[in-house]
Structure 1
Amino acid sequence: MPSESPIQIIRNDNGQIWSHVRKIWLFETPEERVRQEYLCILVNEYGYKIDQIAEEENLTGRGSAQARADHVVWRSKEDKHAKNTPLMVVEYKSDNINISVMDYIQGELYARLCEAPFFVTHNHRETRYWRVRKDKVPGYLEEIESIPHANASEKDIAAILERLKVFREDEFADLLHRCHNIIRNREKKDPAAAFDEIAKILFIKTGVERRLKQGKQRKNLFTTELLEEQRTLHDDPINVLFQQTKSEYRADKIFQIDEKVNLKHDTASAIVKELERYNLSDTSEDIKGIAFERFLGRTFRGEIGQFFTPRPVVEFIVKMLEPREGQVVCDPASGSGGFLIRFFEIVRQQIYADIDRQYEEFKNTTDSRIDLDDATKASLLRDKYEELQRELDQNLEGSRMWKLANRSIYGTDANDRMARTSKMNMIMHGDGHGGVHHHDGFLNINGIFEGRFDVIFTNPPFGSNVEPTDRIREEDVDIPWDIERLYEQRYGEDYKQSRAKLKASIGKPIADLFELSKKDKGKLSKVKTEILFIERCLDLLKPGGQLGIVLPEGIFNNPSLAYVREFVEDRAKLLAVISLPAETFLSSGASVKCSLLFLQKFTSEENEKFNKILSQAKEEIKVKYQLVLEEKKKRVYDEIATAKANKDSERQKSLKREFLAYEKRINVLKSQETRQLLKQRFDYPVFLYDAEKVGLTATGEIDDNELYPNEHVPTDVEKTALELYEQFRIDPKPFFV
C-alpha cells in the first residue's frame, strides 16, 4: 500500500542530502545516497511512515562496541516509542560493493540483536530479503521472496516468512515451459519450431525492456493491452515489434532479415500475457540465466534431441583455465554458450570485486585525511564513485565491462538454432552475445581467426566425419562490405591475411585446411570431426594460449590415433587429462565415455627448443640404424643379383618384398625410438585424474562432485581435482612418489 505522504530525495547546493528520518542534512556519500533512496522505497512503495523508522540505530546500548543499523523498521510508531521488538533491519552498501556473505551475516547479527524477524541487504545492484531463524545458530541464512507491506496482517507476515526464494529459478523455467506448451498445443508445432517462437518473443521482450531502461521509449510496449491497441493500426503487431527489435540487433544477426514471428495473434497475445509480469531487466542474471538453461535442458534434451555439456563439467573446465580480465576467449562449437557464459560471469565478478577494492581503498585513505573537512571528503567520494561506476557501464564504449562484453568473447556453431540459442542464453545471463555467430566452426568469421585467443574451451561434436567432398562455399566466406571494413579496422592486418587465405580456398575441401586430414601420404581422407577440432583449436590459440576440450576416450588410447596424439605433443604441452565416468553425459543424451584434455600451446621459445631436440633425436636414431639398414640392403641386393643370374624372377620379387617390409619395420622402430628419446629430453609432468563423481547421476539428478570445491564434495575426498591440480602445479614431485 503506497504511503499517504510520499517522500523524495532532497539535495542542497552544498553536496548534502536530506535525512527524512533524522531531520538533518548529511553529506552525500555513495553509501548515504543508497540509504536515502531505499528509504523512499520503504515509504512510497511499502507504505511505512517515517515515524516507524529509525536511522543509524544503536542496537547494543551504550559502550564502545556499538552496532549501528542503517534502518530499523517497527510495525507502528507506538512500537518504536515503546522500544518493542522491531519488524526488520535494513543494511546498505554502495553500488560498487558486491554484497558478500559477510554482509548478510552482519545484517542477520543486527536483526538478532533486536529480535527482528526480517532483515534486508540492499544496493542498486541487488536487493535480497531474509528471515531470521531463532531455532538455528547465528550465521544460518534463509532467503525469502519479499518483506511485508506496512498494512500486512500477522497472517500475511507468517505467510511471507514461509515463502522461501529457492524456487524462483524453477518458477521462471516452468513459465517458459508453459509458454512452449501453449505454442505447441495452439499452433500444432513440433518442439523445435515451438522453441524458435519462444526465442523470438523473449528477444522482443528483452529489446523493449532495454529501450525502456535506456530512456529511448517511455511506454512499455510488451503488454497485452498495447498489443490490442496496436491491432487497430497493424494487422500483425507482434511482428512490428519483432522487426523493430531485429533492426536494433542487426549487426549481431540473431535472426534472419526476412524471419518473422509465426504465431496467430491470439497465441502471441497469450504468451505476452504470461511473460509481461516479469521484468527481465530487473531480474538478476543468475535467476533468469539459470532458469533459461533449465528450460533449454528440459526442452532440447527431452524433445529436440540436442545435448549440452553438464554445468558441473563446464564449471570445472573454466576454473581449470583460470579466467582473467583481458583474456580473449573462444568456443568454436559453442552450442548453448555454456563455457562462454561462465567465463563472462567469473570475469564480471572479478571486475566488480576490483572496483569494490579500489573504492574501499580510496574511501579509507580519504576518511583518514585530517586536512579535509566532511564536505570535501563526501565530494571526493562521490567523484570516485562516479568514475568507477563508468567502468561498470556495459553500454559505455571502452569501459571494462564493455570490453568484456564486446571484445573478449567469441563463438560459433554450425547449427543456426544452437547459435541463436547461444546468443539468447548470453543475453539472459547479462550479455556478451555479439561475438557469437551461426557459422562453420572450422572457418574464420568476425574476430575468430588463427593465433588470436588466450583461452579456448569447447565440447566439439563427436562421431561425424568431415569428407573430402565437403567444400568451402562462397556463402561461407562472403560478408557485407561495410561489416568487412569494420572488422578490418577492429582486428587489423592479421584479420586481412586470414580473410585472404579463406577467400583463396573457396571451392576447395574444408579438410584441405588441416594437416590431420592428410595422414595417408598427404592425400585427403575423411576424418572424425573431433580430430579436426583439436587442430582447429591449436591453430586459433596464441603462443602460450590454453585449451580445455572434451574428447572421446579413444583419442587418448586408440593405437590407430597415435598420429593425433603426436600431432598435439609436437605443438603443445599437456597440462592435465581428467577421465570422466561413463554416465557423465548420459543425462544429456550422449553415451560416449569422455576425458578432458587441458594443454598449453608452445611459446615461440618452447617451439624452438622442441624442434631442436626433435631434430637431434631424429639424427641420432638415423645414425643408429643407418649401418644396420645398409648392411641388410647389401645382403639383399647380393641375393637379388644371384637370383637374377639364375633367372629366378620369383626369388627376386620375394627378396624385394622382404627388404621393403624390413625397411618399413626399421622406420617404425626409428619413429618409436625418436619419440621415446624426445620425451626423455623434452620432459615435463602431466596431471592425471580419474574422476568417479562429477555432480550428476546418469538421470541428471544432483550428485556428489569431486571436481572442484562445492557443497557436494564426497565425504571421503580430502581435496578435489582442482585443488590437487593447483597443488601439482606448485610442486608435482609428491604426485610421483
Structure 2
Amino acid sequence: MPVAPTVVPVGSVPDGKVSDYLTGKLLNDTPEEYVRQNIEKALVRQYKYSAKDCEPEFPIGVGRSRKRADIAVFGPGQDHTQNNAYILVETKKADIKPSHKTEGVDQLISYMSACLNTKYGMWTNGDDRLCFAKRPDGKGGWTVDEIIDIPGLGQTEEDAQRPKRKDLKPATADNLLFAFRRCHNYIAAHEGKQKTEAFWELLKLIFTKIEDERSKVISFYATPSERENSSIATAAKKRIQDLFTTKVVKKYPTIFDVKDTEIDLKPTVVAYVVTQLQGYSLLASPVDVKGVAYEEIVGSNLRGDRGEFFTPRNACRMAVSMINPQPEERLLDPSCGTGGFLIAAMNHALEFIERSEREQWVDPANGTDSEREELFRRRTEYLSQNVFGIDLNPALVRAAKMNMVMNNDGSGGLFQGNTLENPHRWDALTRKAIPLGSIDVIVSNPPFGAKIPVDDEDTLSQYDLAATWDQDEGGNWDIRVDRHGSSVLQKSQPPEILFIERALQLLKPGTGRMAMVIPNGILNNPGLAYVRHWLVRHAQILAVVDMHRDLFQPGNDTQTSMVLMRRLSAEEVAEAEITGLDYPLFMAVAEKIGHDKRGNVIYRRTDEGEDALISRVETVTEIDQKTGGEVRRDITVTERQVDDELPEVATAYLRWLSEQK
C-alpha cells in the first residue's frame, strides 16, 4: 500500500526570506525573487547546467559602473569571471515590462555588451520571456538578435531554435504555467478574441504539441524568421495546421468536430505560441507541473456558475492515497469537471503499473523496446477500459478530455451528460460503459449549493433522499407515503445530496468504495438527519476528514469534509436496517491545508518562527540525449515545507487501516 513521500527536516528559513536554489543563501522573498527562483530551477533541471556553474547576483562592470546580473551561467568548471560569463539572465517582477526604461530588455543587452564572451541572454518577468544571441558585426562591434530559446548544456543554438526529440525538456516549477499564461495573453492581445475564445485556440495548439511528441520526428516548431516575418509565418501555420488536422482532429473526433478543424489564429500568432511551447516535453513533464498550469488557465476561463469549484490538488492527492485505486479496478468521477480529481486517481493506478513493470526490467531506468512495449500495452489497456468520467457542462468535458490527453490519456471514457438523470435517458455509449453497480472506485467533488436545486420530478423520483422523511417518537425515520403507497417527493433537493445516493448506486455492492467532498451541513445539520440515517444503512463510513474552511478559497468558503465510504451488500443493508452495523471509523481534522483564504501559500514554521526546510526524493523523467527516449531518475529536492497536513492525514489513515482486522 503506497504511503506519502518521506520528507526530512533540514533547516529553516526566517519569515520573509527564501532559500536560493543555487546557493542555499537566504534572500528576501519578493515577487522578483519568485521569478528568479523558477528560472534557476529551469537552468539546472531543464537546461542541464550545473548549479556550481551558475551564480546569482553576479557582479559585472558596465563602463565605470558596477552592476549585478540576476544570474550568470559559465562553462563547465570555469572560473566565475566576467570574461567567462556565457549566459546572462535578468528576472523581474510581473509588472515590469520589457520596454521599461531602466529595467527592461535594454538593461540585459547592456550587460551582455559589457561581458566580452557572453553569447546569450534571457530577460523575463514570468509573463514575458525574451531570449537573445550576441553576434560580431564584422566591424569590431556586436549586434544582438532575438532568438527563440537559449541553448542547454552541450546543445547548439540551431538545436535550441528547432529542437529534436532529444532536445525536449520536461518543465519544472511554474515555468510551464508562465508559458501557458504568456501564450494565452498573446493570443488575446493580438487576435482581439475574448478570453474564452483565446483559451480554446491555445488548447488546439497544446493538443497538437502533445500529439506531435508521440511521433518519431518532431514537426511542432517555428523558426525565428517564421516568428518575425508575417509572410514566412504562413509556412509555420500551414505546418501546424496540417499536424492538427491529421494527428488531432482525426484521432479525437469527440473533442473536435467537423466545424472545429481550423486553428483560427493569424500565422504570426501561431508561430509565437509554437516557439513558447516547442522546447518542452509536455508528455514527460511532471503531473503536478502540468496540472497547476492547465487548471489555472482553465479555471480563469471556464469556471461556471453551477457550484463548480475545482478540488485543490493536495486534497485530491490525500483522498486518492487513502482510497488507493488499483489498476484492475474501474474508476469513475461522476462530476468530473476538468478532470483534476480523476487524473490524480488515474495516475495513482498507473504508478502501480509502472512500478511493477520496471521491477521486471533488466535496467529499471531504461527498458528495452519489448519491455517498453509491454508497459505501454498495460497502460493503454487500463486507460481505455477502466477510467470514466461524466459531467453536465460540455465545455468542461471537452477541457477534461484535453487534460486527460496531456496526462497520459484516458479521454475515451469521458462523457457529457446529467449523472443525476435516470440512466435510461443517458446516451447509449454512457449507459453501456457505466451501468449502475459496475464501478469499483469513485472520486468526486459534486457541485453543491441551494442556488442550483434539482426540481425535476422524474429525476427526483429515482432517489430515496429526494423523498419526504418523517421521524417517529422512537427516533426512527421512514419515508412518507401517500394514500396510494407512493413516496411523497420534496419539491426540490440540492444536487450534493442526490449525488451521494447516485454514487452509491454506481458502485459495486459490497466492494465499491468512494471518496467524496461533502458539505459539512449534510453531516451535522439537524434538518438533514434523515440523510445520515439513510447513509449509514447503505454505506460503511471508512473515514471523515474535516477540511479547513479555506480549502476552496478564494472563491468559496463552504465548510466541507472528505468522506470515504464503501457500498454495503444487500445482506449488510438488511443487517444495518435491523440491528445497525458496528465498525471502527477514522476521523481527522485538517487545520492546515497549505494556503490562506486569498489563495496564498502558507509555509510551515519552526519553534523559532522561521520557515521550515525539508529534503525529499523526487522521481523525475528526462529525455535521453542520445535516443530521445524517456529516462527516470531520483533527485533530492530541498525546499520550504508547505504548511499542509493533508499528506500526514493520508499517512495516518493508511497506518490506521493496516492495523484493522
How big is each residue's C-alpha offset from its partner over 1:132-183, in whole Å with a ceiling of 9 and x where there is no partner? 6999xxxxxxxx99995899984339989x9999984422211211221122
Match of 1:531 in 2: 497
- Give runs of aligned pairs for residues 259-408 of structure 1, distance below 5 A: 259=260, 260-281=262-283, 283=285, 287-297=289-299, 307-359=309-361, 385-393=368-376, 399-408=377-386
In our comparison, the structure showing a higher alpha carbon Rg is 1
Distance 1:515 1:184, change over 3 A: same
Secondary structure of 1:694's counterpart equals coil
Q: Give the drift of 1:547.
A: 0.7
Match of 2:416 in 1: 438
Match of 1:255 in 2: 256
Match of 2:86 in 1: 156
Kept in 2, the 8 Å contact 1:466–1:529? The answer is yes
Richer in strand (by share): 2
Indicate whether 1:549 and 2:521 are aligned: no
Flag structure 1 segments of 5+ consecutive residues without an equivalent: 1-99, 103-125, 136-143, 364-380, 394-398, 471-508, 618-677
Indicate whether 1:200 and 2:204 are aligned: yes
Kept in 2, the 8 Å contact 1:285–1:430? The answer is no
Q: Take 1:558 and 1:411, find their aligned partners in 2: how far apart are those partners?
A: 30
Indicate whether 1:726 and 2:625 are aligned: no
Indicate whether 1:517 and 2:466 are aligned: yes
Kept in 2, the 8 Å contact 1:328–1:409? The answer is yes
Q: Give the drift of 1:301.
A: 6.5
Indicate whether 1:571 and 2:538 are aligned: yes
Distance 1:613 1:694, change over 3 A: closer
Which letter maps to 2:445? N
How big is each residue's C-alpha offset from its partner over 1:336-392, in whole Å with a ceiling of 9 and x where there is no partner? 2112211232222222222232235x99xxxxxxxxxxxxxxxxx99x945432222
Indicate whether 1:220 and 2:219 are aligned: yes
Q: Take 2:368 and 2:243, find their aligned partners in 1: how far apart are those partners?
A: 37
Match of 2:629 in 1: none
Secondary structure of 1:453's counterpart equals coil
Match of 1:494 in 2: none
Q: Give the drift of 1:329.
A: 0.7
How big is each residue's C-alpha offset from its partner over 1:257-285, in whole Å with a ceiling of 9 and x where there is no partner? 32244434443344334334445356555
Indicate whether 1:462 and 2:429 are aligned: no
Q: Take 2:86 and 2:307, find their aligned partners in 1: how far apart are those partners?
A: 45
Match of 2:406 in 1: 428
Match of 1:701 in 2: 600
Q: Give the drift of 1:232.
A: 8.1
Q: Take 1:459 and 1:420, find their aligned partners in 2: how far apart are those partners?
A: 18
Distance 1:329 1:511, change over 3 A: same
Relative to structure 2, which stretch is displaced further, 532-541 or 221-230? 221-230
Q: Take 1:150 and 1:715, find their aligned partners in 2: how far apart are those partners?
A: 38
Match of 2:156 in 1: none
Which letter maps to 1:574? I
Q: Take 1:325 and 1:348, find their aligned partners in 2: how far apart are those partners?
A: 7
Q: Take 2:177 and 2:388, find their aligned partners in 1: how far apart are those partners?
A: 27
Kept in 2, the 8 Å contact 1:466–1:511? The answer is no
Q: Give the drift of 1:220.
A: 1.5
Kept in 2, the 8 Å contact 1:572–1:599? The answer is yes
Distance 1:683 1:147, change over 3 A: farther
Work out which of the residue numbers 591, 596, 600 in structure 1 matches 2:566: 600
Q: Take 2:415 and 2:644, find their aligned partners in 1: how far apart are those partners?
A: 44
Number of residue pairs aligned between Structure 1 and Structure 2: 464
Q: Give the drift of 1:550.
A: 0.5
Which letter maps to 1:441? T
Q: Give the drift of 1:335.
A: 1.3
Q: Take 2:644 and 2:281, find their aligned partners in 1: how far apart are those partners?
A: 44
- Give runs of aligned pairs for residues 100-179 of structure 1, distance below 5 A: 131=51, 154-156=84-86, 168-179=172-183
Work out which of the residue numbers 546, 556, 561 in structure 2 matches 1:590: 556
Which letter maps to 1:317? A
Kept in 2, the 8 Å contact 1:419–1:436? The answer is yes
TM-score by length of 2: 0.60
Richer in helix (by share): 1
Flag structure 2 segments of 5+ consecutive residues without an equivalent: 8-45, 56-70, 90-119, 123-151, 154-168, 469-479, 482-486, 606-614, 617-638
TM-score by length of 1: 0.54
Q: Take 2:548 and 2:403, find their aligned partners in 1: how far apart are those partners?
A: 28
Which letter maps to 1:402? T
Kept in 2, the 8 Å contact 1:703–1:712? The answer is no
Distance 1:284 1:571, change over 3 A: closer
Identity of aligned residues (%): 30
Which letter maps to 2:547? L
Relative to structure 2, which stretch is displaced further, 341-350 or 461-470? 461-470
Q: Give the drift of 1:690.
A: 1.7
Secondary structure of 1:349's counterpart equals helix
Which letter maps to 2:409? D
Q: Take 1:426 and 1:355, find their aligned partners in 2: how far apart are those partners?
A: 22
Secondary structure of 1:359's counterpart equals coil
Distance 1:207 1:222, change over 3 A: farther
RMSD (Å) for aligned C-alpha atoms: 4.6
Q: Give the drift of 1:223.
A: 3.4
Q: Give the drift of 1:245.
A: 3.8
Higher RCO (CA < 8 A, seq sep 6+): 2
Kept in 2, the 8 Å contact 1:694–1:704? The answer is no
Q: Take 1:705 and 1:326, find their aligned partners in 2: how far apart are those partners?
A: 38
Kept in 1, the 8 Å contact 2:201–2:264? The answer is yes
Q: Give the drift of 1:324.
A: 2.2
Kept in 1, the 8 Å contact 2:170–2:285? The answer is no
Kept in 1, the 8 Å contact 2:453–2:494? The answer is yes
Distance 1:410 1:611, change over 3 A: same
Which letter maps to 2:222? T
